[in-house]
């Protein structure tokens, strides 16, 4: 097979995995492209005889957004494969296993997780995942702690930081999460029924100033190797298992961005069930589980992070009295602010979420979208009042 880049067809994908010896030469493989087709191809390959299966994910050299094509670096395939390997070592069992990475074709062959479902779909069906909070807490504590200056030597940290310079993917976040939703930008689109709420937001100078501070933190606070796109479409789940996929946005950024993404998406689900779940008892139960899950993720994260700190941190300055508590409080406040930005952008900006988009009645959807905007704004504006995770969930209850 040629070593120059070209997008694979389903037939090419079958030939590729056989040539590399991942399946027997004579296997009658089935292959289906299951990605959403905007940035990457995702092929699902199955040998019906043995039941063995694999995923082959290939980056495309462009992103198709608002009808235009813009070139997008294939280097994100390297970032994704390397991040998956690191996360797999630090948080075993919580990401798909990387089987093979091909730099020329910008593709990764990985473990098939088709016995899991994308978490967003599970949340839309009000499915409760009893182990999710514990798994997410472990994923966050271990991936963030062990890639930070708290654990690595300054030299090791800078070397890792250099390997994860990801400017084009960061620019997407800088534009779509931290800029465009807060003024009348071309990439925005939203439900016409919420125009008043959106225009009020565009007029809110205090809000824009706080979003600007969060944008600057995203761009400059190189605390840890973060996943960078940890929404509920990047998490696959079943009752007793959680897997984080798709770290192509990974870079050295603020730790709070990852828990913030998880909180935002749980809260978008919270807002969406005002529309999806008219039965009040069912709605209350599920919303209560979402808020309990946010609290359990943070508590588990903070506890494990503090344990890792006690065990591994030797630096005199990092062990200054009260510093660990202050550090974790700052991560929490960052997470709350980033969560707010991520909620607002899913209502106003380019990329929306199925949780809200699948509410068929535009008036009902508008109620949910306005709730998401109100929560998002409150999280950004009041994040510095949050001292403990219960302050975040109280804030949500207060707005709702
Ligand atoms: P993109 O970067 O284009 O968003 P993702 O990595 O999120 O690509 O994958 C797109 C979809 O492909 C996922 O939502 C999921 O349905 C499926 N998928 C991705 N990786 C796997 C995997 N390892 N096992 C099973 N399905 C997967
Ligand atoms: Mg996608
Ligand atoms: Mg994805
Ligand atoms: Mg992706």
Residues 239-258: tens digit of each pLDDT:
999 999 999 999 999 999 99
**Contact (Cβ atoms closer than 8 angstroms) between residue 81 and residue 102:** no
Q: Does residue 42 have its Cβ closer than 6 Å to ligand 1? A: yes
Alpha carbon of 35 to ligand 2 centroid (Å): 7
Q: Is the pLDDT of residue 169 over 80?
A: yes
The whole-angstrom separation of Cα 8 and Cα 14 is 10
The whole-angstrom separation of Cα 395 and Cα 390 is 8
- Which of 32, 35, 120, 351 to probe ligand 1 with, by most ligand atoms within 8 A of CB? 35
**Contact (Cβ atoms closer than 8 angstroms) between residue 149 and residue 321:** no
Q: Is 202 exposed, middle or buried (0-12, 13-18, 19+ CB in 10 A)?
A: middle
pLDDT, tens digit, 9 for 90 and up, residues 308-324: 999 999 999 999 999 99
pLDDT band at 118 (very low <50, low <70, confident <90, very high): very high
The whole-angstrom separation of Cα 261 and Cα 78 is 23
**The pLDDT of residue 1:** 47
Q: What is the mean pLDDT of residues 192-197?
A: 98
**The pLDDT of residue 39:** 86
Minimum CA distance residue for ligand 1 atom 5: 246
CATH code of domain 10-111: 3.30.200.20
Q: Does residue 45 have its Cβ closer than 6 Å to ligand 1? A: no
CATH 3.30.200.20 in the chain is located at 10-111
CATH 3.90.1200.10 in the chain is located at 117-399
**The pLDDT of residue 62:** 84
CATH code of domain 117-399: 3.90.1200.10
């Amino acid at each position: 097979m040629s070593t120059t880049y070209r997008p694979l067809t389903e037939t090419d994908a079958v030939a590729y995995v056989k040539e590399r010896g991942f399946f027997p030469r004579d296997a009658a493989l089935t292959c289906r492209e299951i990605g959403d087709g905007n940035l990457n191809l995702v092929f699902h390959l199955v040998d019906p005889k043995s039941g063995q299966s694999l995923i082959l994910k290939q980056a495309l050299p462009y992103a198709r957004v608002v009808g235009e094509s813009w070139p997008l670096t294939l280097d994100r395939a390297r970032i994704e494969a390397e991040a998956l390997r690191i996360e797999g070592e630090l948080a075993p069992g919580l990401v798909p296993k990387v089987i093979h990475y091909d730099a020329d074709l910008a593709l990764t062959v990985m473990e098939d997780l088709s016995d899991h479902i994308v978490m967003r779909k599970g949340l839309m069906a009000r499915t409760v995942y009893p182990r999710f909070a514990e798994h997410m807490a472990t994923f966050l504590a271990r991936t963030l702690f062990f890639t930070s200056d708290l654990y690595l030597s300054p030299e090791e940290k800078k070397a890792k930081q250099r390997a994860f310079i990801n400017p084009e993917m960061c620019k997407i976040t800088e534009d779509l999460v931290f800029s465009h939703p807060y003024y009348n930008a071309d990439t925005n689109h939203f439900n016409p029924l919420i125009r008043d709420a959106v225009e009020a937001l565009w007029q809110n100078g205090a809000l824009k100033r706080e979003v600007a501070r969060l944008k600057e933190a995203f761009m400059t606070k190189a605390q840890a190797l973060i996943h960078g796109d940890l929404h509920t479409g990047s998490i696959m789940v079943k009752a007793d298992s959680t897997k984080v996929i798709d770290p192509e946005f990974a870079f050295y950024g603020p730790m709070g961005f990852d828990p913030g993404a998880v909180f935002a998406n749980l809260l978008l689900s919270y807002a969406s069930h005002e529309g999806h779940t008219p039965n009040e008892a069912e709605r209350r139960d599920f919303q209560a589980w979402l808020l309990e899950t946010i609290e359990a993720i943070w508590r588990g994260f903070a506890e494990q992070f503090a344990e890792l700190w006690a065990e591994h941190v030797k630096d005199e300055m990092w062990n200054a009295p009260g510093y660990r508590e202050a550090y974790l409080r700052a991560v929490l406040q960052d997470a709350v602010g980033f969560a707010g930005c991520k909620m607002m952008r899913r209502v106003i900006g380019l990329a929306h979420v199925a949780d809200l988009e699948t509410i068929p009645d535009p008036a009902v959807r508008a109620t949910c979208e306005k709730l998401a905007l109100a929560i998002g704004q409150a999280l950004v504006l009041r994040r510095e009042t949050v001292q403990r995770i219960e302050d975040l969930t109280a804030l949500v209850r207060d707005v709702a």
